[in-house]
Structure 1
Amino acid sequence: MIHLPASLLTDRDALTAREWILGNGLGAYASGTVSGIATRRYHGLLVAALSPPRGRQVLISHLDETITLRYLRAPLSSHAFPGVVQPEGWRHLVTFALDPLPRWQWRVGEAVLERTVFMVRGQNTTVVRYTLVDSPGAIALTVRPFGAFRDFHHHAQQNRDARIAAVAVNDRPGTVLIQPYEGGPAVLMQAPGVFHPSPDWWRGFQHEAERARGLDSQEDLFTPGEYVIALAPGESAHVVLTAEHRLPDDVAVLEAREIARLRALVPQGVSDPRVEQLYRAVDLYRADLARPPAVLAGYPWFEDWGRDTLIAFTGLYLVPKRYTEAKELLAAFAKYVDQGMLPNRFPDSGGGAADDNTVDAPMWFLHAARRFVQYSGDLDFARRTLVPAMRAIVEAFRRGTRYNIHQRPDGLIWAGDPGTQLTWMDARCADTVFTPRHGCPVEINALWYAGLRSLAWLCATTGDEGSAERWHREADHVRESFRERFWNARLGYLYDVVRDDYRDPAVRPNALYAVALPGDLLPLEQCEAVLRRARDELLVPMAVRTLSPSDPAYQGRYDGGPWSRDSAYHQGTAWPFLLGAYTAAVVRVGRRRGTPEAEAEARAEAGRCFDGLAAALTSYGLGHLPEIVEGDAPHRPVGCFAQAWSDAEALRGLVEDVEGAGPEDDL
């Protein structure tokens, strides 16, 4: 449970900086700020996934709410326009909690009104429940919907084509149909009150987060009218918004079912409230009800990305023991393997081919496949599906495949050319590549080595000892070349990229994977040296920097327009998901030292890395970790307010690295 303290409830900026979000298992969502002020184009009460998990559109932006008690009339909503916030309903807020659904309470005079929001599982449907908790008499609650009906990456503007009047649905009392564009999506809205038509446009809503990102930041929204709902003390009223063809039945039962589902996500016996919250947090990204299933990389704007999915896989699926869904996801990815490549990004529009410009997604598939079998013990699935897909990836990389990806004679993997960005450090603006890493990147070759060991282990586990020996010999060759080519004795660290006669000495976090992954790629003393430098130069509270501050290219702030932000993205900006690689490396080194005391101290050190977790879960995306934080103190959270691999790696790190739970991962 997250309960904002009273001291924050009188601070408009603090309330507006904290964002809440709900999902429905299809990729749709409802999201906004605690104050109610929309700061992003992505905020919306009903953001439907029309081609799950893609095709997302902001259909209903928000509901404008006003309470009338006798002769007292007060707004509960808050909106930003250029230079002004009006009205200021946030001033009436007395409680906000996430338990597990977002819940607001406002006090107007002697009346206390509560609002709870939830999404119906598997439907593009949002339900808002209002309960008059306390009052000396009945109130009138006015609820006015505001529609956008546009792609979630864009803004709406007033136009003559929109038919903004609602149409009454005669056979469903209190129900209207909102469909501004012929052939476009429609929303059914139902409330236990009288609908009063008053179609109009409201112009110039200001989205401050968009302005700060150097993007267009104003939007026009239309309203078809308003409901007036009478509420007596103790009564509740549900307002339903759905892009489905019919309204859901018995929304009170559906609300209770969703609360029970969210609470059941936490395994019995979990006593750490941070871990409880993370078990619920990772549920947001799993679009398990989409076909094929998918993972949304981050909210509010990321699509389903192959690389992000597979890095987050253990924390999203295996730690929560969702083996059936994990199996479906891996089976889907196995079908996507083409010339050893896997999709990097699926366009949100649902059209066009998926991008496969990633060298690391196939590598992370090898890792995910091994961990799935270690957790689930499903050898039949390994034999029928995983091993053939893994062989296809490895053989294609050895032969050579797209984007100049190939295995060199020394066994190392080369990827790309000066114009391509194939690793996770892929920021570019127009034709400018900010972190050129073509050649042999360090983490790619650490993953390649671990992937070969993984394939050998799975071959042996499924009875193919001959193939296992072959892949172990191949891995031995890679390890010998890796140690020779990547170790920077002067720095006591690993080169970030090697190619021909060039070796990049930049101190980046990618070296951590050579320590964190199984198989003892480096001698113990080199692992210890990598950890020391990473601890001293890269580790910040709840994240790891992408570049050492001692590097002339370091950028400690992440702000401004697209060019400014992209240039800093991997040049010092810190990423929470990398903390998982760090804690895994700490524990692996502790275990390699060979004593119970060394392992216990390593797990304790890993635990201290999460000391700032409770605060991080309540300062930006409520209940979630952000995509990135600034490299310079105070390490302001920026980017997406909820990121799949950030939440997933925190959960995995706490459970596997700190608690020591889960199957062993030694190869």
Structure 2
Amino acid sequence: MSYLRFDKTLMINLEESLPREILRTNKSGAYHCTTIVDCNTRKYHGLLVIPVPNLDDENHVLLSSLDETVIQHGAEFNLGLHKYQGDHFSPNGHKYIREFDCEHIPATTYRVGGVILRKEKIFVHHENRILIRYTLVDAHSATTLRFRPFLAFRSVREYTHENPQANRDYQLVENGIKTCMYPGYPELFMQLNKKNEFHYQPDWYRGIEYPKEQERGYDFNEDLYVPGYFEVDIKKGESIVFSAGISEISPRKLKQTFEAEVEDRTPRDSFYHCLVNSAHQFHNKQGNEHYVLAGYPWFKCRARDLFISLPGLTLAVDEQDEFEDVMLTAEKAIREFINGEPATYKVYEMNDPDVLLWAIWALQQYAKETSREQCRQKYGKLLEDIMDYIRSRKHDNLFLHENGLLYANGTEKAITWMNSTANGRPVTPRTGYIVEVNSLWYNALRFIADLVREDGNVHLADELDAQAEVTGKSFVEVFRNECGYLFDYVDGYMMDWSVRPNMIFTVAFDYSPLDRAQKKQVLDIVTKELLTPKGLRTLSPKSGGYNPNYVGPQTQRDYAYHQGTAWPWPMGFYMEAYLRIYKMSGVSFVERYLIGFEDEMTSHCIGSLPELFDGNPPFRGRGAVSFAMNVAEILRILKLLSKYNL
């Protein structure tokens, strides 16, 4: 039994199949994303979605979809599926699906009369090319396949509509054509590994709708351009490979390339392997630069997400080289920032006040997975420079006060991971002494003090330890309240009593200003008020403003984003904290909660974890279909658990 297989009953029921999506990436920023029935439901969906750097910093949908038609005895059976106005779906090709299997690569099996056709898709690594292999498993008479490409040539943020400016020209290339709809775009090469006929029949398919955009209160329909169709005969047992890319390829290489790429894939035959496969998809290599994308389909490389997710995406899956490769680019971006130089690397939001502290945390995880000595040799200078930058008060929104705590202004702009804004203002205006910023600060002081002391720099170590003593004492005085939990932020006489997950980091980190009894009180209240099977709620149901359902138009979602929704990534720190307090006796509890995430492997984005969940049952997955920090933190906890289970 395949781990990721869906039968006919589920596939032909659009209520069940349309919410399930698949994502494949080339590890260089391009991707293919759609539903498991190949019906696009988002403007971000497409067969070939790529960055076009000379146009802008966005991804662009070149090839939206490819409709296949099986022809026998003059009868045509179209396997495509699009949504049009009034809940009208056409041509209803999903009714021919017998099963969909996504364990190795996405594979759909169709049955049309006596014809059994298998379709498999693969995205070539580090190349803007998708390959689709069609195998005629069974047929009792002569069979022809017709392929009709739907072209968009637009940013993922926009739509295309019928217009006279679209270029309809095409040129023949070996076993296919090349075309380009608008200036500035690369040419799109569509080729098959077998000789075929291309029939030029230009037309616009009008009024295609994207219900996921409609749900979010956005425009949701567009027109797609079809230049014509390819026809090719196929015999029983034969495989034909279709290629769409921005460069020409030798048709003779297509089968070999397809098979080589298949060999390079991690089978998704378990919860762990699904997460490993998903982890690999966030990598984005651009020449000598190596980034981690925050999520698909719309996120770029955000600094905070990069540092929080890096240990889980690399070290937790024993890919130390990948960690170091990403850090090569990240360190350059950090140095540009702390030296006040113009940013030339595409690591965004580097100036948020907690980012450098999360970078220290990420390097701390590297030290734990390799050795402190190795961390010191590779990153010791960087760690000291970051620490000097913060202590010298050079950050324009991170102020070290006499009480040893770090202060940041978050009234005008959202400055932490709880970064939702509405009408230009933070929905959750966390400002002043922010709890996780100061947890990170205390942890950083102790970690770097220990690291430099081992290197013989006793003077700096003593300075940092003395600073940590002051910081730790103030932390307990400022943040701990009489109810036994931690204020989310404190600004003068303003103390935020909201019960939020940000206090859990103080319990999870290696160095904490809290004693064991205080840690247990924090853990208990988080368990009682924030824990769900899908992550930690961003706000307790008992706190004012609780808004657990991430639904409706975008503004409505913005107000719910961190006001009660549940996020998996803080759950990683919660589980780490739980194991710190309960040690071996906590293992079965943590394992039990991980089951809630394994259930997600067959829903939302197959084999990955979405950005967030509703905070109330049934805890539906919402937001970006695949989110780096969530995948990373569950992988990190699985690695941590494996050490307890030795």
TM-score bracket, normalised by the shorter chain, equals over 0.9
Distance 2:470 2:263 in 1: 52
Cα deviation for residue 460 of structure 1 reads: 3.1
Cα distance, 1:661–1:62 mapped onto 2, change above 3 Å: farther
Query: Residue 259 of structure 1 aligns with which residue?
Result: 262
Contact 2:24 2:32 in 1 (8 A): yes
Corresponding position of 1:217? 220
Q: Which residue of 1 aligns with 2:552?
A: 560
The match for 2:390 is 397
Q: Residue 419 of structure 1 aligns with which residue?
A: 412
Range 123-132 or range 650-659, more displaced:
650-659
TM alignment of 1:141-540, pairs within 5 A: 141-169=145-173, 172=174, 174-191=175-192, 192=194, 193-244=196-247, 246=249, 250-263=253-266, 273-288=270-285, 290-338=287-335, 354-377=348-371, 379=373, 382-383=376-377, 385-489=378-482, 491-540=483-532
Paired residues of 2:302 and 2:348 also in contact (CA < 8 A): no
> Per-residue deviation at 1:619?
1.0
Q: CA deviation at 1:509?
A: 0.3
Q: TM-score, normalised by structure 1?
A: 0.91
In 2 relative to 1, CA 254–352 (structure 1 residues): closer, same or farther, beyond 3 Å? closer
- Looking at structure 1, the residues matched to 303 and 339 of structure 2 have their Cα atoms a distance apart, in angstroms, of 7
- What do the CA deviations read for 1:175-205 (whole angstroms, capped 9, x no partner)? 2111111342211110232111111111111
Distance in 1 of aligned mates of 2:462 and 2:49: 51
- Per the alignment, in what secondary structure is the counterpart of residue 224 of structure 2? strand
Deviations 1:230-286 (A, max 9, x none): 11111000000011365586232222222222228x9xxxxx921121111101101
CA displacement, residues 612-663 of structure 1 (integer Å, 9 cap, x when unaligned): 222211110000001000111111111011111111111111221465389x
Q: Distance in 2 between matches of 1:132 and 1:66?
A: 13
Q: What is the count of residue pairs matched by the alignment?
A: 638
> What's the Cα RMSD here?
2.3
Counterpart of 1:68?
Answer: 71
Shift of 1:25: 1.3
Name the counterpart of 1:574: 566
Query: What is residue 594 of structure 1 aligned with on the other side?
Result: none
8 Å contact from structure 2 (residues 22, 34) kept in 1: yes
Matched, 1:632 2:633: no
Instruction: Name the CA shift for 1:248/1:342 in 2 (closer, same or farther; >3 Å).
Output: farther
| Amino acid in the other structure paired with 1:620 | H
CA gap 1:32/1:339 in 2 versus in 1, 3 angstroms: closer
Q: TM-score normalized by structure 2?
A: 0.94
Q: Partner residue of 1:652?
A: 636
Q: Which amino acid aligns with 2:422?
A: C
- Contact 1:583–1:657 under 8 Å retained in 2: no
Flag the 1:253–1:376 CA change in 2: closer, same or farther, 3 A. farther
Sort the Cα spacing of 1:456 and 1:516 in 2 relative to 1 into closer, same or farther, 3 A: same
1:604 aligns with 2:604: no
Q: Percent identity of the aligned residues?
A: 30
Q: Distance in 1 between matches of 2:23 and 2:383?
A: 36
Q: Which runs of 5+ in 2 are unaligned?
A: none
Contact in 1 for aligned 2:302/2:349 (Cα 8 Å)? no
| Partner residue, 2:50 | 48
Question: Quick one: distance in 2 between partners of 1:258 and 1:116?
Answer: 12
Residue by residue over 1:460-486, the C-alpha shift from the partner in whole angstroms, topping out at 9 and shown as x without a partner, is: 344434322322222222111111111
Relative distance call for 1:378 and 1:242 in structure 2 (3 A) is farther
Q: 1:496–1:511: 8 Å Cα contact kept in structure 2? A: yes
Which of 494-503 and 397-406 deviates more? 397-406
Does structure 2 conserve the Cα–Cα contact (< 8 Å) formed by 1:25 and 1:290? no
Ranges in structure 1 where 5+ consecutive residues have no aligned partner: 267-271, 591-598, 663-667
Aligned to 1:177, the other structure's residue is in SS state strand
Distance 2:137 2:67 in 1: 20
- Counterpart CA distance in 2 for 1:73 and 1:252 is 27
Question: CA distance change for structure 1 residues 33 and 548 in 2, over 3 Å: closer, same or farther?
Answer: same
2:595 is paired with a residue whose SS is: coil
Contact preservation (8 Å) 1:32, 1:43 = yes
Q: 1:137 aligns with which of 131, 134, 141?
A: 141
- Rounded to whole Å, the distance in 1 between the matches of 2:606 and 2:229 is 30
2: CA distance, partners of 1:608 / 1:76: 41
The alpha-carbon distance between structure 1 residues 523 and 339, as it changes in their structure 2 partners (threshold 3 A), is farther
Q: Distance in 1 between matches of 2:282 and 2:639?
A: 19
